[in-house]
Amino acid sequence: METSAFIKIRGLIRATTGGMTIGGLLVFLASCVTAPEQSEPEHLVWPSPPLTTRIEFVRSIVSDEDLGRDTTYTQRLLNFLAGEKPHPNRIVEPMGLAVSDDGQRLYVSDFAHLAVFVFDLAQKKFTKIGAQENLARPVGIALDAQEQLYVVEQEKKGISVFDRQGKKIQFITHPGIERPTGIALDRARGKIYLADTGHTRSPTHDVKIFNLRGELVGAIGQGKGSGPGQFLFPTYLAVDPQGNLYVTDTLNSRVQVFDADGKYLKTVGSRGSAWGMFDKPKGVALDSFGNLYVADSGWSNVQIFNQKGQVLLFFGGRGPIPGMLKNPTAITIDKQNRIYVADYLNHRVEVYQLVNTTATDSFLSPPVAERGGDAELKDNSDVKQQAVVGNTDKSRLEFERR
């Protein structure tokens, strides 16, 4: 899938090189970086100008070396074209993300490194949980109010809890766990939600509920299937301030929402190639306005929905250039609406920022007709929407408040 931003960059490269070799292109880009009279190229933004920017690409986090520098878009593009050398603390298979309440520390679980990387963005420090003793295939991660780290260790079929110094203080498991993946904490109610993805032959796919002592106290899921409350390989989880649980029902290509008591509330999205539809949804997160962000590994983008389940925008798109995505997994959002996406096949974390947005921007009037890719969108005095749908890929959805 290509977005207009990627097409713009590709067109810029073609226009400026005129058949130039990669070596010549690198020289050209290097001159753009070093010459003071050259201005920084425009960052990737969504939607495309002239519409009001809502999401802007900020930076990539690839390894601990990124703590010592805030790599510009130009330099990252230059590094990409030149071929970056591997680094011992380079992200390889990011599967889980969490960010501290103050937004200063980013936690990244790496399935290949058998560790959790901790990037202290303020102090420019790096630590590695699992450096002394490997973690057993870490996947989902979460933080409690004391910033204790909960790590789903898939091979151990449980959750390891670490204090702020990285010392293991608890292990939570149960004989019924088969293949745990995602985790979310309901701090206010003292609940730990664990997505048990299971296997093809597993009798059930569900979300298990533990208390903070590690005792199993319940489960959500009405068995394997595609009906309301049923799951087919649930993966990632998120909890909102009201205690509602969002479950990525990956092979049903949807997100299901349950209240704090486990009662089914609604479904967001469905399988399809139009905007607002999913291929293989994975990471889920919410911004400060209550909008739902869903990372789709198949489409390699992130779609944004309001609380009515109406799609507002998507960003990303498949590609290796910084700001683009390849099979994203986890997503998390800090209290300043900075968005972190685990870019799995690009071996990095991509960072974006929600901008120029207020709570009223989450509401569409009149409601969008739920007719998939051929939905008729009507202009009104409040919202202008544009949807362009490709043959099999979503192309873009843009909205602008007048």
Residue 163 has a pLDDT of 97
Residue 363 has a pLDDT of 83
C-alpha dihedral, 55 to 297 to 99 to 257, nearest 10°: 90
Alpha-carbon Rg for the chain in angstroms: 21
Please state, in angstroms and rounded to a whole number, the distance separating the CA atoms of residues 144 and 27: 48
Residue 85 has a pLDDT of 53
Please state, in angstroms and rounded to a whole number, the distance separating the CA atoms of residues 144 and 138: 18
Please state, in angstroms and rounded to a whole number, the distance separating the CA atoms of residues 332 and 284: 7
Residue 370 has a pLDDT of 38
Query: Could you tell me which of 161, 259, 136 has the C-alpha nearest to residue 211?
Result: 161
Residue 82 has a pLDDT of 57
Residue 64: what are its φ and ψ, rounded to 5°?
-65, -20
Q: Residue 318's beta-bridge partner residues?
A: 325
Instruction: Supply 315's token pair.
Output: 């960003």
Q: Residue 168's beta-bridge partner residues?
A: 162
**Residue where the block lists tokens 């293989």:** 280
- Structural contact between residues 97 and 342, judged by C-beta atoms closer than 8 angstroms: yes
Query: Could you tell me which of 111, 124, 114, 120 has the C-alpha nearest to residue 181?
Result: 111
**pLDDT per residue rounded down to tens, the chain (402 residues):** 444 443 333 333 333 333 334 344 333 434 444 444 444 445 799 999 999 999 999 999 999 888 875 554 455 555 555 555 556 799 999 999 999 999 999 999 999 999 999 999 999 999 999 999 999 999 999 999 999 999 999 999 999 999 999 999 999 999 999 999 999 999 999 999 999 999 999 989 999 999 999 999 999 999 899 999 999 999 999 999 999 999 999 999 999 999 999 999 999 999 999 999 999 999 999 999 999 999 999 999 999 999 999 999 999 999 999 999 999 999 999 999 999 999 999 999 999 999 999 999 888 754 443 333 333 323 332 333 332 222 233 333 333 332
What is the number of other CB atoms lying within 10 angstroms of the CB of residue 165?
A: 8
Contacts of 234 (CB under 8 A, 6+ apart): 181, 182, 195, 196, 197, 205, 206, 207, 221, 247, 248, 249, 250
pLDDT tens digits, one per residue of 60-118: 999 988 887 555 445 555 555 555 555 679 999 999 999 999 999 999 999 999 999 99
Residue 9 has a pLDDT of 36
Instruction: Supply 262's token pair.
Output: 């486990």
Please state, in angstroms and rounded to a whole number, the distance separating the CA atoms of residues 225 and 208: 17
Determine the residue type at 338: R
50: preceding bond cis by omega (within 30 degrees): yes
Residue 86 has a pLDDT of 52
pLDDT tens digits, one per residue of 13-29: 333 333 334 344 333 43
Query: Could you tell me which of 79, 151, 154 has the C-alpha nearest to residue 320?
Result: 79
Residue 50 has a pLDDT of 93
